[in-house]
């Protein structure tokens, strides 16, 4: 089997991660006199990495964040000094999701509720949860389409990442 046929076969097997790096890894194996098991391990590792990245991207897209760039890293905790920073980071661990607990962000506009909900949602996705981000007015509008929400696996859901904390 030549390289073209091998790439075609990898595509049929849905091993696009291997196909994408095959030529590079072949050159590396030749240059470094890499043992076959190490060569194969590199290819499998590349495939798993690519699949993991694609899963995260898919879940971020499915979450429908208003701004996918909102993270805890770019949240200004100095803006709202009443913010319980330790509670926020505790929520980002996802422990409340594992305990099947809900929460609710309450507070006036501009206090960081949406930013934190999205940031905690991002953290939940990184931990393997599925997230569906909704602001309250949108959640109420969407309540007419509950089948979409019910179709998600309940044990791995993080809803509007809301929790009992008043800003």
What is the architecture, at CATH level 2, of domain 85-166?
Answer: 3-Layer(aba) Sandwich (3.40)
pLDDT at 162: 45
Q: Which residue in 29, 31, 32 sits closest to 41, CA to CA?
A: 29
The reply to whether the predicted model has a pTM over 0.75 is no
Running DSSP on this structure, what letter comes out for residue 143?
G
Mean pLDDT by 10 residues, the chain (167 residues): 93 94 96 96 96 95 92 90 89 93 82 92 94 83 66 49 42
The shares of helix, strand and coil residues in the chain, as percent rounded to the nearest 5, are 60, 5, 35
pLDDT at 81: 82
C-alpha span between 160 and 35 (Å, rounded):
49
pLDDT at 163: 43
Q: How is the chain split into domains, by residue range?
A: 3-57, 85-166
pLDDT at 167: 38
């Amino acid at each position: 089997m030549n390289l073209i046929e091998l790439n075609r076969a990898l595509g049929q097997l849905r091993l696009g991660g291997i196909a994408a790096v095959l030529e590079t890894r072949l050159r590396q194996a030749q240059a470094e006199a890499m043992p076959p098991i190490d060569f194969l391990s590199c290819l499998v590792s590349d495939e798993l990495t690519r699949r993991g990245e694609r899963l995260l991207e898919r879940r971020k897209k499915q979450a429908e964040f208003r701004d996918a760039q909102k993270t805890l890293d770019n949240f200004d905790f100095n803006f709202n000094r009443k913010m319980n920073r330790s509670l926020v980071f505790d929520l980002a661990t996802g422990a409340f999701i594992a305990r099947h607990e809900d929460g609710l962000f309450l507070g006036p506009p501009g206090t960081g509720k949406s930013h934190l909900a999205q940031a905690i949602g991002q953290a939940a996705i990184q931990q393997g949860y599925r997230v569906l981000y909704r602001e309250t007015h949108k959640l109420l509008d969407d309540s007419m389409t509950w089948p979409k929400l019910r179709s998600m696996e309940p044990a791995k859901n993080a809803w509007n990442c809301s929790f009992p904390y008043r800003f």
